[in-house]
Amino acid sequence: MSDAFKVSIGLETHVQLDTRSKIWCGCANVFGSEPNTDVCPVCLGYPGTMPVLNREAVRLTVMAGLMLGCEINRYSKFDRKSYFYPDMPKNYQISQYDLPLCLGGGVEIMVDGQPKNIRLNRIHLEEDVAKNNHFEGFSGVDFNRAGTPLMEIVSEPDLSSAEEAFAYLQALKQMLVYGGISECNLEQGNMRCDINCSVRPAAQEQLGTKTEIKNMNTFKGVLRSLTYEIKRQIDVVSSGGRVVQETRRWDDEAGVTRSMRSKEDAHDYRYFPEPDLMPVVLSEQEIEGWRASLPEMPTTRRQRFVDEYGLPDYDAGVLVADKAVADFFEAVARDAGNPKAASNWMMTEMLRVLSADDLEIADIKVTPAALAVLIRLVDEKAINNTGAKEVFAELVANGGDPKAIVEAKGLAQVSDTGALNTWVEEAIAAHPNVVDDYRGGKRAALQFLMGQVMRASQGKANPPMVLQALRDKLDS
Amino acid sequence: MAKFADHNETFSLAGLQQGTFSSVEWVTDLLQRIERSDKTINAYISTDGEWALEQAKAADQRRASGEAGPLCGAPIGVKDVLNVQGQPCHCASRILEGYTSPYDATAVSRLRDQGAVLLGRLNMDEFAMGSTNENSAFGAVRNPWNPDFVPGGSSGGSAAAVAAGSAWAALGTDTGGSIRQPASFCGRVGLKPSYGRVSRFGLTAFASSLDQIGPITQTVSDAATLLTALAGHDAKDSTSLKQAVPDYSSALKGDLRGMRLGLPKQYFIEGMDQEVEAAVRQATEQCRELGAELVEVSLPHTEYAIATYYIIATAEASANLARFDGVRYGAREAGSDPLDQYGKTRAAFFGPEVKRRIILGTYVLSSGYHDAYYLRAQQVRTLIRRDFEDAFKQCDALLTPVAPTTAYRIGERTADPIQMYLGDIFTVTANLAGICGLSVPCGFSSADLPIGLQILGPAFGEETILRVGHAYEQSTDWHVRRPPLWAGTAS
Ligand SMILES: [Zn+2]
């Protein structure tokens, strides 16, 4: 990107809330049911039906607001946003216009190693719409999604590159998952966003004309579409043209944004207060209760891992990045009574397996309890590290109990001095030259002999004991 | 049926309660009467006789087992805007052709729980938009007192059926007078409860912040019985209030001594029908004789009420009626794409008055006009509400005419919607303020058309207005007069 231009990006991020039922009715809030099975007269917009607010959706939105440092409106209300489209059962969406639940706040991202605060404008609560499916020759509407509680997080145009937008979404996702607000499963459409983007000459104070890219549902897509759109706008302005205020669509296959509709055809949503719902009035007590129940946020947890477990800051950062991984680590550390070892296993073996097989930690067959047992076995010298790695590989492949695996594979470490001495004496006898080298001051020769003993023991010999026995024999 | 030869005398729940006749006998008789009277008045859109008799039979069994409340076996008609499971709910519109309700409105299920018998679906102005019941896809309803005249609207079918004796009572809905005005034009009792008193769940919304369900009945006592069954909080309607429900029937006691009744000067105006004014003044005098003290009060913002009402009601209606697009239910006209289909469907199946109000409502909410119309109207609405709060500091209830005139001649007002809207002047204020109102018969014009007295009470003051209405009613005989078309016996 050219330094001659400044880029301003704002995101409107829609997040489906992790409630049991929908926002206005008792229908299940789940993904993947047969089309039009999680529906009722209310979420189908039948004549005479009325919405009843799901308080859990309010709680989750306020929790998100508290996590993101927003001001919580004690008095908030819902409004009708009118437009005709087949995905809207009532042809108006119940949303929040001038009195949203949360105002202000911010999301911290890292830019070139420095923290940058992206200010939020507001967070409001609304209903998700149905899903249109297009088939050969006809279209169908699946109303299962209609009425899913949806939180819209509106940022200020503080993001200045595609990469920052990407980092913002990742930070947001991390916090929302931490807070139990949403699973933020992108494949299931839990998180979608609209992008506002403008460029202006670096010397210009006022923001340039913006375009809107609608309905992005992957972070990669946001990154790519913004990279394209920023360049497109800079090219337009550089060649003396003017950016047209319009809504654009991201064509992922072609890798370009395309004009959808201009400002002239913009909807007039005709907002007015929803007369079927009472205003939402939150008491100080209620809000403070929710604040007290806020889960630990990633930055706090990272510091605690450093303080409490003595982990290096980098390791702590890697572990807290995914809440499930951090939870797994803490369970192992607690059970094994050895946080250092727990961290080592997580940082090396576990993350390697996860990234190699592109797995979530929830998918893996190793349980925190099993890994803790394995660590204890090593600490108690019941097996050595080589054996432990073999047990871990077995746990990854088939799960199970580490003790049983040690038994089955005959990996129990040999600490019996009689057997050890035999292997040590055999090794010394078989390699007189090496013994001479050692005695001549070549310390590495000891490693060779050590290897010979381990091989003879099929890896089961207790390494420190072997080392000690070798020294005893050679140095005497 | 011999028992019903003197229908006039037995048309009350007492007959059921005393065992003079069974619900099955009553319903059988009513179904025949509906068939006869509807040839002239067209009060019902449909009846389901077989189902009505099934319900009546079940009610009789329940009564025999000794577990019957006052409404067990009572034959009731339901305005076509209320959902009854398994029944059509056209809202008197072609756009809901083929629609069958998948659920019961709360008001309906409360009556069914009590064993009430649902006779059929009562005609109305399309989507409750109108004051004459001429805006119906199922034809105009006619006034039982004189079929050349309208029954009022929008609950015209409800009022006409009760007046003609083709239902014991009926449910109506009142957004700007749609219970009280037809009750007045048909010489019957109509009660609009306070906003939030009766659940709106299952009432196909016209204007959600104004709509209320209420009864149209032969007597004030019947209205009290029905309100006791209908009222109360409903978890399915967040705007229904958690306010205890008294036994309204026990409020119908005594005369009016110690009560102060207000006469708002803005409700006795130049240009109103002389006979109407005279009858209402006479009724207020009667109340004074019953012990009430009359005081003049002022509701200074009354002159803005009609404009305010038609802005708010149409704004809400424009959104409420947006769902009728032919996608999920009702009639559909094919189009080249979804939006084209919506346009064609709505153009083909909404009637002209509904279209007029949707366009008006869309306009007042449009960007650039929203503040000047919708926002301003909401501000005036607050002033109108305060007018009433101030008035009720000076008196217990207000006495006014229901409408400035008696019933219009069929076709008389259709050409001039503004003129028709102005007829709502005395009723819309109660909806804007959320207060309760009762219409009771108080006389007849020289053309033998009924005149109604309106009794307005503060929010949740139903006991007061029912008590006043009952005391007045019992001191007159307007309510026992029967129209020439009573139960289809004439014409
Ligand atoms: Zn539902």
Partnered with residue A8 across adjacent β-strands are A198
Mutate to test the interface with A, among B325, B376, B379 (most CBs of A within 10 A): B325
The yes-or-no answer on residue B3 being catalytic is: no
A92 reaches B (C-beta below 8 A):
yes
Query: Hey, how many other C-beta atoms are within 10 angstroms of the C-beta on B258?
Result: 10
Nearest-Cα distance to chain B for A374, in Å, is 54
pLDDT score, position B1: 47
Instruction: Identify the residue among B328, B360, B363, B432 best suited for mutation to test binding to A, counting A beta carbons within 10 A and taking the highest.
Output: B328
Average pLDDT, chain A: 92
Q: How far is CA B212 from the centre of its chain?
A: 9
Whether A84 and B327 lie within 8 Å, measured CB to CB: no
Phi then psi dihedrals of residue B454, to 5 deg: -100, 130
The DSSP secondary-structure symbol of A472 reads H
Q: Which two tokens stand for residue B437?
A: 């109102």
Task: Name residues whose C-beta falls within 8 Å of residue B426's C-beta, 6 or more positions apart in sequence.
Answer: B177, B267, B400, B401, B402, B403, B404, B454
* Angle subtended at Cα B244 by Cα B239 and Cα B247, rounded to the nearest 5 degrees: 120
Given this model, what pLDDT does residue A383 score?
85
> Using a CB-CB distance cutoff of 8 angstroms, which residues of chain A are in contact with residue B198?
none
- CB contact burial A181-202 (16+ within 10 A = b; e otherwise): bbbbebeebbbbbbbbbbbbee
Instruction: Tell me how far the alpha carbon of residue A90 lies from the centroid of ligand 1, in angstroms.
Output: 13
Cβ contact A278–B238 (<8 Å): yes
- In terms of Cα–Cα distance, which of A10, A7, A8 is closest to A120? A10
Would you say residue B301 has pLDDT above 90? yes
The model's confidence at residue B7, banded by pLDDT at 50, 70 and 90, is: low
Task: Output the average pLDDT for chain B.
Answer: 95
Q: Contacts of residue B321 in chain A, CB cutoff 8 Å?
A: none
Per the CB < 8 A criterion, the answer to whether A298 and A321 are in contact is yes
Q: What is the pLDDT of residues B98-145, one digit of tens each?
A: 999 999 999 999 999 999 999 999 999 999 999 999 999 999 999 999
SS3 B73: coil
Q: Pick the residue of B100, B323, B373 with the most A CBs within 10 A to test the interface with A by mutation.
A: B323
Task: Count other C-beta atoms under 10 Å from residue A10's C-beta.
Answer: 23
Helix H, strand E, coil C: the string for B165-234 is CCCCEEEEEECCCCCHHHHHHCCCEEEECCCCCECCCCECCCCCCCCEEEEEECCHHHHHHHHHHHECCE
Scan residues 372-411 of B and list those with Cβ closer than 8 Å to A: 374
Name every chain B residue with its beta carbon within 8 A of the beta carbon of A46: 102-103, 328-329
Element (H, E) at B23: helix B23-41
What's the pTM?
A: 0.89
By three-state DSSP, how is residue B107 classified?
A: helix
pLDDT tens for each residue of B329-342: 999 999 998 899 99
Active site (annotated) includes residue B79 = yes
Q: Which residue has the tokens 């809030």?
A: A29
Return the beta strands (E) in A136-253 as ranges.
138-142, 149-155, 191-201, 211-216, 246-251
Angle made by CA atoms A336, A337, A341, in degrees to the nearest 5: 70
Catalytic residue among B79, B101, B184, B194: B79
Residue A267 in contact with partner chain B when CB distance is under 8 A: no
Q: Which of B442, B407, B416 is nearest to B273 (CA)?
A: B407
Half-sphere exposure of A293 (CA within 13 A, CB side): 13
- Rounded Cα–Cα distance for residues B274 and B292 (Å): 24
Residue B77 has phi, psi (to 5 degrees) of -100, 150
- Using one digit for the tens of pLDDT, what is the confidence trace for A37-73? 999 999 999 999 999 999 999 999 999 999 999 999 9
Q: Are B322 and A52 within 8 A, CB to CB?
A: no
* Integer Cα distance of A169 and A63 in angstroms: 18
Non-local (6+) Cβ contacts of B474 within 8 A are none
Strands A5-16 and A149-155: antiparallel
Sign of CA dihedral B103, B108, B110, B112: negative
Joined tokens for residue A105 = 């706040």
Task: Give the closest residue to A250 by CA, choosing from A220, A209, A219, A215.
Answer: A215
Taking 60 as the threshold, does the pLDDT of residue B5 lie above it?
Answer: no
Q: Say if residues A380 and A403 touch (Cβ distance below 8 Å).
A: no
The Cα B234–Cα B344 span in angstroms is 37
Confidence of residue B369 (pLDDT cuts 50, 70, 90): very high
- Cis before A293? omega within 30: no
Of A46, A53, A92, the CB nearest to B322: A92
Q: Are B318 and A270 an interchain contact pair (Cβ–Cβ within 8 Å)?
A: yes
Q: What pLDDT, on the 0 to 100 scale, is given for residue A407?
A: 81
A85 touches chain B (CB under 8 A): yes
Report the separation in Å between the CA atom of A23 and the middle of ligand 1, taken as the mean of its atom positions. 9
- Among A48, A53, A275, whose Cβ lies nearest the Cβ of B204? A48
Identify which has the larger pLDDT, A357 or B196: B196
Residue of B nearest to A26 (CA): B236
Residue type, A40: C
Q: What pLDDT, on the 0 to 100 scale, is given for residue B254?
A: 85
Find the helix or strand (DSSP H, E) in which A163 lies. Answer: helix A162-178
Q: How far is the CA of B352 from the centre of ligand 1 (A)?
A: 33
Rounded alpha-carbon distances, angstroms, from residue B295 to B267, B302, B394, B441: 14, 18, 8, 22
pLDDT for B4 equals: 62
Q: Which whole number is the average pLDDT over B272-279?
A: 95
A468 dihedral zone (left: phi>0; alpha: psi -120 to 50; beta): alpha
pLDDT classification of B488: cutoffs 50, 70, 90? low
Query: How much is the pLDDT for A461?
Result: 81
Going from the Cα of A144 to the center of ligand 1, the distance in angstroms, rounded, reads: 8
pLDDT tens digits, one per residue of A17-30: 999 999 999 999 99
Percent of chain B beyond pLDDT 70?
A: 97
Contact A142, A30 (CB under 8 A): no
Residue B489: pLDDT above 80? no
CB contact residues (below 8 A), chain A span 42-61, against chain B: 44-53
Mean pLDDT along residues A267-296:
96
Residue A383 has, within 13 A of its CA and on its CB side, a CA count of 24
- pLDDT value for A384: 83
Residue A373 binned pLDDT confidence (cut-offs 50, 70, 90): very high
How many Å apart are CA B293 and CA B258, to the nearest integer?
Answer: 7
Verify whether the Cβ–Cβ distance B239 to A90 is below 8 Å. no
Q: Mean pLDDT, to the nearest integer, of A173-188?
A: 94
Verify whether the Cβ–Cβ distance A52 to B103 is below 8 Å. Answer: no
Classify the C-alpha dihedral A25-A27-A28-A32 as positive or negative: negative
pLDDT at B298 over 80: yes
| pLDDT at site A265 | 66
A20 vs A146, A182, B387, CA distance in Å? 14, 11, 46
Length of chain A: 476
Rounded Cα distance between B487 and B166, Å, is 6
| Contact across the interface for A268 and B366, Cβ inside 8 Å | yes
- What structural domains does chain A harbor? 10-196+269-287 (no CATH), 298-409 (no CATH), 417-474 (1.10.10.410)
Measured in angstroms, the CA of A85 and the nearest CA of chain B are apart by: 7
Residue B91 in contact with partner chain A when CB distance is under 8 A: yes
The residue type of B42 is: N
Tell me the mean pLDDT in the region A171-199: 95
The residue annotated as part of the active site, out of B37, B178, B194, B240, is B178
Tens of pLDDT, residues A409-449:
777 777 777 778 888 888 888 888 888 888 888 888 888 98
Kindly indicate the confidence band of residue B491, based on its pLDDT and cuts at 50, 70 and 90.
Answer: very low
Separation between Cα atoms, residue B383 and residue B389, nearest integer Å: 10
Is there a contact between A48 and B205 if contact means CB atoms under 8 Å apart? yes
**DSSP of A251-272:** ETTTTEEEEEEEGGG------E
Radius of gyration of chain B (CA): 21
Cβ–Cβ below 8 Å for B328 and A276:
no
Å from CA of A437 to ligand 1 middle? 82
Mutate to test the interface with B, among A43, A272, A280 (most CBs of B within 10 A): A272
In the residue annotation, B178 being an active-site residue is answered as yes
Hey, what domains does chain B have and what are their CATH numbers? 2-300+385-488 (3.90.1300.10)
Cα torsion angle, A103, B239, A276, B465, sign: negative
Residues of B in contact with A91 (CB under 8 A): 319, 322-323, 325
- Cα distance from B2 to chain A (closest Cα, Å)? 42
Q: Which chain B residue has its CA at the smallest distance from A54's CA?
A: B238
> What pLDDT, on a 0 to 100 scale, did the predictor assign at position B490?
43
Write down the residue that tokens 């007192």 correspond to.
B145
> In whole angstroms, what is the distance from residue A123 CA to residue A61 CA?
8
Q: How far apart are CA A291 and CA A195, in angstroms?
A: 30
Element (H, E) at A116: strand A114-127
What are the chain B neighbours of A53 within 8 Å (beta carbons)? Answer: 238
Per-chain residues with Cβ under 5 A from ion ligand 1: A 25, 27, 40, 42-43
- B318·A82 Cβ contact <8 A: yes
Among residues of chain B, what percentage have pLDDT more than 90?
A: 89
